């Protein structure tokens, strides 16, 4: 592989005009496609195989024309202090609003609060429910504007009016913190390279890669039903790995220049060595992201595949466009140890007294005291992981929105007037098609549910025209995300199993609350198989890369430590409320159901980036004759600064998304940023060298039969060294 990538790097350097033209053309093509494609809204949400989804599908069949997947809005009214919603003036205002809302072309029906008994017991709060023909994703802007205008008219009459439901979806925004993250990355690159040109290359190539990836996602969003979150996450991961991969190549290029090689040869060798690490690091990220499809949640699958595509583009750009731009940069990119004009007069380190760099000093310290460093690192991560033992999972609803949104204020008003469970009603679907007496089954089901704990209201069964299927609405006494409500859902399903045994009727529970519970359980069940699949495949890949059993095993165990510590930090902030004000978390609650499995997938891939790049340098030194302990120090001397810069950049990019108004994006941004911190600075920089120092030569042990069976991918670039020894571009000849 190293020889092939070496040739690719030299070709890209030499044919830089052609390479740059191809990537610019791809960026232009993707941009035009994104600009001309129809806009996409929020992705539809379906969970195949769950009871909630089966009930939803049954409603589509048995209640045709009711638009079971149509958007809904709850217009919540609150009377001024000292007044009631039943006062004549307030009642007239509400009825005018209901009439105004009913005129919409996409409106199916609007309930009158006074006829539907949707007025709170104290008479201060009432709500009207608006049902639409189409989903919130397909709802016209004119319908949304009409909804807002009607609420505004009622406000002018003196009422407090807020709108909940999925008809008005807040458009997520990341704010200026995303730009700050990129700015931090730029500063780190300038400090690392000492040159504006060298620092600009990783940023430019990463932005081009992300531009192509996100534009392609935008262009396909409508056709493939991709939501706005998909492109946001692809941007987040694509920026981070794009900068890091380019950083690895440019750093190795400067090291090759420092050894006296001419620029085209240095570019080829940089791509042949560091590029090999980039390929395998990228493969682990792609495996982890594509592996999310095993969960069988379409939205998660699309997010993973879209992000994986952006990572693949980042790898290809690092291997081709980076050497091409190095060709354009020429002498503006200085050899390692030589500063550009931006940071002062050019001066080589060779002219100064030899002094070990910080990476060398740290590695030497770890090699001298490996056991103490190992214990301190493991205990520290273990302490950070403690909050993860109280992890509660759920999906965000309007209750997790910022208090500045009308959805959140409507949620709070409904909780105040009708109880916390009113925001998460359960819909029970009774399929009595195979029963002798459907009406009796409907009555029996309602009676059974009334006898369960935490039930506030059970509405009479509403049968379809055929009379073989009915819906029953159940209002719990607890809020939607509570464990009590989850127990109620399971209680209704247990009661439904008994009813089926007696009457052959199916009782299914659906609704957003039940769907969230089913998603959480599905994700929990998939976590272990997913871990086995992803870690197993990556373990085999790393055996090929490092030609060792213990090094990949150590890498996987270190990852588990860092991801558990990161989950503990997420629980502490988003569930317990520690530092919630600093992070902009207005409402604590359960951690998003997808967070553990998504973090496992993404963090595992990113963790292997540092593992591959850092340990490959150690492996290279060991293969070329150094003792194990000295190889660790050599790996840090060459790689610690680059890995540190890469980790800081990745943390800055991820942290930039903490400013998002989308709670899911905010949580993922924080989780990935803290996970990179734990993995890069504690696991890879402390635990990894400590373990390798303790293992010595055993770390690189591989059974002879397995060594013969494995393909030789030559990540260390031994083929390039052999090529030189045989009379290729020898360094002395190049200097001559």
Averaged over 106-111, what is the pLDDT?
Answer: 84
632/192: higher pLDDT = 632
> Where does the pLDDT of residue 566 fall: very low under 50, low under 70, confident under 90, or very high at 90 and above?
very high
In the β-sheet with 125-132, what is the strand arrangement from edge to edge?
A: 107-110, 125-132, 72-78, 160-165
Selection from 629, 672, 626 nearest residue 651 by Cα: 672
- Contacting residues for 511 by C-beta, under 8 A, at least 6 apart: 52, 424, 425, 426, 427
What is the share, in percent, of the chain residues with pLDDT greater than 90? Answer: 21
Q: How confident is the model at residue 188 (pLDDT cuts 50, 70, 90)?
A: confident
- Measured CA angle at 63 (ends 57, 65), to 5 deg: 105
Residue 174 has pLDDT above 70, yes or no: no
pLDDT of residue 619: 82
Coil, helix or strand for 649? Answer: helix
Better pLDDT: 93 or 185: 93
Is the pLDDT at 722 greater than 70? The verdict is no
User: pLDDT (tens digit, 9 = 90+) per residue, 144-168?
Assistant: 888 888 889 889 989 999 998 877 7
Inter-CA distances, 595 with 1, 45, 177, Å = 36, 17, 21
So what's the pLDDT on residue 176? Answer: 55
Query: What pLDDT band is residue 1 in, cutting at 50, 70 and 90?
Result: confident
Q: How far is CA 363 from CA 251, 378, 612, in A?
A: 20, 18, 17
Count CB neighbours of 350 within 10 A. Answer: 10
Cβ neighbors of 27 (< 8 A, separation 6 or more) are 208, 211, 212, 215
Higher pLDDT, 74 or 733: 74
The share of the chain scoring above pLDDT 70, in percent, equals 88
How high is the pLDDT of residue 69? 59
CA nearest to 363, candidates 545, 191, 674, 621? 621
Q: What is the mean pLDDT of the chain?
A: 82
Q: What is the pLDDT of residue 61?
A: 85
Give pLDDT tens digits for 29-45.
988 888 887 665 545 55
**What are the tens digits of pLDDT across the range 394-428?**
776 777 677 778 888 998 999 998 888 888 889 99
Compute the average pLDDT of residues 662-667: 76
């Amino acid at each position: 592989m190293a020889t092939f990538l070496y040739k690719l790097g030299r070709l890209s350097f030499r044919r830089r005009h052609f390479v740059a033209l191809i990537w610019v053309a791809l960026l232009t093509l993707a941009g035009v496609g994104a600009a001309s494609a129809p806009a996409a809204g929020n992705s539809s949400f379906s969970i195949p195989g769950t009871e909630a989804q089966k009930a939803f599908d049954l409603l589509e069949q048995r209640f045709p024309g009711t638009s079971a997947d149509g958007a809904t809005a709850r217009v919540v009214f609150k009377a001024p202090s000292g007044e009631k919603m039943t006062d004549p003036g307030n009642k007239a205002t509400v009825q005018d609003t209901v009439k105004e809302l009913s005129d919409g072309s996409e409106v199916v029906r609007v309930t009158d609060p006074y006829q539907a008994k949707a007025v709170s017991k104290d008479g201060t709060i009432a709500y009207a429910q608006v049902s639409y023909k189409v989903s919130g994703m397909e709802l016209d802007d004119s319908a949304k504007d009409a909804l807002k205008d009607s609420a505004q008219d009622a406000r002018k009459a003196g009422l407090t009016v807020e709108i909940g439901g999925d008809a008005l979806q807040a458009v997520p925004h990341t704010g200026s913190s995303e730009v700050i993250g990129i700015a931090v990355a730029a500063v780190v690159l300038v400090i690392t390279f000492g040159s504006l040109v060298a620092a600009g290359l990783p940023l430019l190539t990463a932005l081009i890669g992300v531009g192509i990836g996100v534009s392609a996602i935008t262009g396909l969003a409508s056709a493939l039903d991709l939501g706005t979150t998909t492109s946001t996450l692809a941007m987040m991961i694509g920026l981070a790995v794009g900068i890091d991969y380019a950083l690895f190549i440019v750093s190795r290029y400067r090291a090759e220049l420092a050894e006296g090689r001419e620029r085209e040869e240095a570019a080829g060798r940089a791509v042949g060595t560091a590029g090999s690490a980039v390929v395998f690091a990228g493969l682990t990220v792609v495996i982890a992201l594509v592996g999310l499809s095993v969960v069988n949640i379409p939205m998660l699958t699309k997010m993973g595949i879209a992000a994986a595509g952006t990572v693949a583009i980042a790898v290809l750009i690092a291997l081709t466009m980076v050497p091409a731009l190095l060709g354009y940069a020429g002498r503006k990119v200085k050899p390692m140890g030589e500063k550009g004009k931006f940071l002062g007069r050019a001066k080589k380190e060779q002219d100064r007294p030899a002094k070990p760099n910080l990476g060398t000093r740290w590695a030497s310290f770890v090699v001298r005291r490996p056991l103490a460093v190992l214990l301190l690192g493991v205990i520290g991560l273990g302490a950070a992981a403690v909050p993860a033992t109280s992890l509660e999972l759920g999906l965000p609803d309007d209750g997790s929105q910022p208090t500045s949104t009308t959805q959140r204020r409507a949620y709070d008003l409904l909780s105040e007037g009708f109880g916390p469970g009113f925001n998460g009603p359960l819909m029970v679907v009774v399929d009595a098609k195979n029963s002798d007496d459907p009406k009796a089954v409907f009555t029996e089901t309602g009676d059974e549910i009334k006898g369960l704990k935490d039930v506030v209201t059970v509405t009479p069964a509403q049968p379809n025209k055929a009379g073989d299927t009915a819906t029953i609405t159940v209002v719990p006494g607890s809020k939607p995300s509570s464990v009590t409500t989850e127990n109620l859902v399971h209680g209704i399903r247990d009661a439904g199993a008994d009813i089926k045994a007696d009457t052959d009727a199916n009782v299914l529970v659906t609704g957003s609350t039940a769907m969230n519970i089913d998603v959480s359980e599905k994700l929990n069940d998939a976590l272990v198989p997913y871990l086995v699949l992803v870690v197993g495949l990556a373990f085999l890949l790393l055996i090929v890369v490092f030609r060792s059993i213990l090094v990949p095993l150590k890498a996987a165990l270190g990852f588990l430590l860092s991801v558990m510590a990161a989950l503990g930090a997420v629980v502490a902030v988003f569930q317990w409320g520690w530092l919630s004000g600093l992070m902009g978390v207005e409402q604590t609650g359960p951690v998003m159901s997808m967070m553990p499995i998504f973090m496992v997938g993404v963090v595992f891939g990113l963790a292997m980036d540092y593992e591959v790049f850092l340990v490959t340098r150690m492996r290279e030194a060991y293969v070329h004759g150094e003792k194990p302990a000295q190889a660790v120090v050599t790996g840090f001397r060459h790689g610690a600064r680059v890995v540190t810069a890469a980790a800081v950049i990745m943390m800055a990019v991820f942290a930039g998304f903490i400013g998002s108004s989308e709670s899911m994006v905010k949580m993922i941004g924080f989780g990935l940023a803290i996970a990179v911190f734990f993995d890069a600075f504690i696991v890879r920089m402390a635990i990894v060298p400590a373990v390798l120092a303790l293992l010595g030569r055993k770390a690189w042990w591989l059974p002879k039969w397995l060594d013969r069976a494995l393909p030789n991918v030559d990540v260390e670039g031994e083929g390039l060294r052999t090529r030189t020894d045989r009379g290729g571009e020898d360094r002395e000849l190049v200097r001559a």
